[in-house]
Amino acid sequence: MERSFRFCQDVARRDTHNFPVATWLMPSSVRPYAACLYAFARLADNWADEPRYAGQRRALLDEWSAALDDCCAGRATHPVFIALQRTIAVRDIPPAYLRTLLDALRQDLSVTRYATRNDLLDYCRRSANTAGRLVLTLLGHRDEEEYLLSDAICTGHALVNFWQEVVEDRANGRIYIPQEDLARFECDPTNLEAPSTHENFARLMADEIAWTREFFRAGWPLCERFRGRLGLELRLIWWSGYLALRRLEADRALLLARPSSLTAADKVSILWHTVTSHRLLE
């Protein structure tokens, strides 16, 4: 068991993707379980997305899903699932959330377009929002109102990621901008291969950014609800997404650039807003 949790912690340390995982803001008693949930999702996401797994993706996700079933039946053998078996029992984690995450990853293998905003929001519900609910549950919070506020923040984060990666996703055959929005702003999907040459693209993305801001604003009350470590953690997550959205709005050239890691200045700005803001600022 100890080796299995250490395996999960190694995954979390080496592959955080700019997201604060099992940070010092979480109680030390919870961090190993957070790292376990992260390792479960991170490895599955790598199989669904990384080029080196092309041709094996669905088989690997199916094996992971079968391993989850074995875990829930008390037959875990992989280090992640040995740790997960303990995590589910100790922290009362609903296995349905874990299955939903895997279903969302499978969807990415076959669905490359979203007709409407509602279709895209359904994908966010099963991916980013489920991850947020897992974190709240891990920390002992199961209030439906808190879940809904978390959903709003997580949807905002997911949409920011989509807008940051428009060109890269198009190169990989995916378009997360809803087809109804492309049609509304008279943007042909081929425009996304070189969006800087199309004036309508700027108008389209301004509208998507305004839509995304609504989710962050709707979710902010969750940050005001808690003090202490959890309050700081929530504001850290909120500000990391909201400031990324503001950067996109201020510098549209970022919409055309390959996503990059957070700079030192970015991290200082996020930390400053996290510590000093106790209410939503413009």
Query: CB of 158 within 8 A of CB of 124?
Result: yes
Alpha-helix runs per DSSP H in 116-227 = 117-126, 128-138, 144-164, 166-171, 179-184, 199-225
Place of tokens 């961090």: 31
Token pair of 75, please? 């037959």
254 φ, ψ to 5°? -65, -25
Residue type, 265: A
pLDDT, one tens digit for every residue, the chain (282 residues): 999 999 999 998 886 554 444 455 688 899 999 999 999 999 999 999 888 999 999 999 999 999 999 999 999 999 999 999 999 999 999 999 999 999 999 999 999 999 999 999 999 999 999 999 999 999 999 999 999 999 999 999 999 999 998 888 888 889 999 999 999 999 887 767 665 556 788 899 999 999 999 999 999 999 999 888 888 888 888 999 999 999 888 876 556 555 555 565 555 565 555 566 656 554
Spatial CA neighbour of 10 closest among 38, 30, 44, 29:
38
63 φ, ψ to 5°? -65, -40
pTM: 0.88
Query: CB of 270 within 8 A of CB of 239?
Result: yes
Question: How far is the C-alpha of 210 from the C-alpha of 216, rounded, in Å?
Answer: 10
Domain ranges of the chain: 1-110, 113-282
Which class does domain 1-110 fall in? mainly alpha
Residue type, 248: L
Count, residues in the chain: 282
DSSP state of 256: G
The answer to whether domain 1-110 and domain 113-282 are alike in fold is yes
CATH of domain 113-282: 1.10.600.10
Query: CB of 177 within 8 A of CB of 190?
Result: no
**Number of Cβ within a 10 Å radius of residue 53:** 14
